[in-house]
Amino acid sequence: MRIKDNGKYEWRKEQYAEAAEQLGENTKSKGIDAATAFTIEMLSNLERAMEHEDMTEELAEILSTDQITLRYEVTREIEIGDE
């Protein structure tokens, strides 16, 4: 597979190199593989975190990114009536 990283995609070179470095990989392709594996696992972990008893609105905001938005809100409601 070829990924364009020239012209308007020049920004990808730095992003892929940084991902590889952050994930302890020594090549861009290994960095992309590690980033993909990380994303799959992290999305599952975030779903579990949203159900955790210690989750708060503030923590959901901290865990959010430009790509993933977590929203947590507690709603309490009392209804009185015939229905």
Could you report the per-residue pLDDT of 11-59, keeping only the tens digit for each? 999 999 999 999 999 998 899 999 999 999 999 999 999 999 999 999 9
Predicted confidence (pLDDT) at residue 83 exceeds the cutoff of 80: no
- Looking at residue 41, its pLDDT comes to 95
CA of 14: how far to CAs of 4, 5, 24, 33, in Å? 13, 9, 15, 16
| Domains of the chain by residue range | 7-53
Which residue is listed with tokens 């990808």?
Answer: 12
- Looking at residue 77, its pLDDT comes to 87
Q: Find the mean pLDDT for residues 76-80.
A: 86
- Looking at residue 74, its pLDDT comes to 82
56 token code pair: 């708060």
- Looking at residue 63, its pLDDT comes to 93
CA of 76: how far to CAs of 1, 50, 59, 79, in Å? 51, 18, 20, 10
